[in-house]
């Protein structure tokens, strides 16, 4: 009997809770798995700023998020790529006007071992290293002698084939119609790439800028052979001078209004932009965080 009473009390409590929740404003936010951790952190922090607004965040991928926006089931769609022409056409047909908001950047750094003498590398050379039928497989072909790497054969470190990082690096470095070489070591996380490079003198790998440690070296990237190279940093990612950085988007239907507008405005504040910085991405603009 006591158990029953407790159950009744819990039931009554949950009903009370749900009616209270109805009085609050819900913002539905769905999309990119790259952004999902940041979006979650923003939603939690925003709860403190605006207790009356609840932001519900779900992942599922950029495509899922945009599809939900087109179907009108979410207020904000997260995407780590811009909307495709096909999706835009479909949205217009349904009377939805997707509007793009850049909320941050994700920069990929090319990592090598600490003792590797390499300073800079061009995108074309990277493509020859990572791309199928690429001609470069030894450090000596770049005119380098890597200490501790006896065979001078490169150990290519990559990501598992369904990660966004893998897809973005392929698009940005290899081009649309080229695949990776077979035989890359496909790590399951951004941090694993950096870990393996740290312990492997022959290695070269790519991973998010945020995963850099003092035990590995990041290469300066040339857009074209002979041009001045750009070091990966939050600043060069934000001003788009670094070539392997992708903007992270939030899409809304038309100009945002009401609670959604307030939320997006808050995302551009220093407080929110410092959260994205802490999660390992470059903020949308220069900020100072403590």
Rule CB under 8 A: which residues touch another protein? 33, 61, 63, 149-151, 153, 155, 160-163, 166-167, 170-171, 176-177, 179-180, 182-188, 196, 199-203
Q: Which residue has the tokens 């945020």?
A: 210
Q: What's the closest the beta carbon of residue 168 comes to another protein, in angstroms?
A: 12
The position carrying tokens 């979650």 is 40
Q: Is residue 64 within 8 Å of residue 251, measured between CB atoms?
A: no
Minimum gap (Å) between residue 159 Cβ and another protein: 10
On the CB side of 4, how many CA atoms lie within 13 Å of its CA?
Answer: 1
Least Å distance, CB 185 to another protein, is 5
Name the residue nearer to another protein (CB basis): 50 or 63. 63
Cβ atoms of 75 and 225 within 8 Å: the answer is no
Nearer to another protein, 27 or 216 (CB): 216
Q: Residue 207 corresponds to which tokens in the numbers above? A: 């991973």
CB of 177 to another protein, least distance (A): 5
Q: Which has the closest alpha carbon to 278: 289, 268, 286, 267?
A: 289
- Residue number, 128 or 195, with CB nearest to another protein: 195
For another protein, which is the closer residue by CB, 67 or 248?
67
Select 61 or 256, whichever has its Cβ closest to another protein.
61
Q: How far is the CB of 10 from another protein (least distance, A)?
A: 33
CB 188 to another protein: min, Å: 6
Which residue, 32 or 260, is less far from another protein as judged by CB? Answer: 32
- Residue 280 contacts residue 209 (beta carbons within 8 Å): yes
Comparing CA positions, the residue from 46, 53, 65 lying closest to residue 26 is: 53
Q: What angle do CA 59, 238, 240 make, to 5 degrees?
A: 105
- Helical pair 85-93 and 62-70, crossing angle rounded to 10 deg: 20
CA distance 239 to 3: 61
């Amino acid at each position: 009997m006591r158990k029953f009473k407790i159950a009744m009390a819990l039931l009554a409590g949950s009903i009370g809770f749900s009616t209270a929740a109805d009085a609050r404003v819900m913002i539905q936010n769905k999309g990119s798995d790259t952004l999902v951790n940041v979006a979650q952190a923003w939603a939690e922090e925003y709860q403190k700023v605006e207790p009356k607004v609840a932001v519900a965040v779900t992942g599922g991928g950029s495509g899922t998020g945009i599809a939900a926006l087109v179907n009108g089931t979410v207020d904000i769609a997260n995407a780590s790529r811009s909307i495709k022409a096909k999706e835009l056409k479909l949205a217009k047909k349904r009377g939805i006007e997707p509007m793009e908001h850049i909320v941050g950047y994700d920069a990929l750094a090319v990592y090598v071992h600490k003792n590797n003498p390499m300073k800079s590398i061009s995108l074309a050379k990277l493509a020859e290293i990572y791309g199928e039928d690429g001609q470069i497989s030894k450090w000596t072909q770049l005119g380098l002698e890597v200490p501790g790497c006896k065979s001078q054969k490169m150990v290519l470190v990559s990501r598992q084939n369904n990660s966004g990082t893998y897809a973005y690096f392929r698009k940005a470095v290899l081009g649309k119609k080229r695949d990776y070489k077979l035989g890359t070591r496909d790590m399951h996380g951004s941090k694993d790439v950096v870990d393996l490079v740290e312990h492997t003198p022959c290695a070269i790998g790519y991973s998010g800028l945020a995963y850099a440690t003092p035990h590995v070296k990041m290469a300066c990237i040339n857009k074209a052979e002979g041009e001045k190279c750009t070091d990966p940093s939050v600043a060069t990612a934000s001003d788009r001078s670094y070539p392997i950085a992708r903007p992270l988007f939030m899409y809304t239907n038309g100009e945002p209004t009401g609670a959604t507008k307030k939320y997006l405005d808050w995302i551009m504040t220093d407080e929110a932009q410092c959260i994205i910085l802490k999660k390992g991405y470059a903020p949308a603009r220069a900020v100072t965080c403590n």
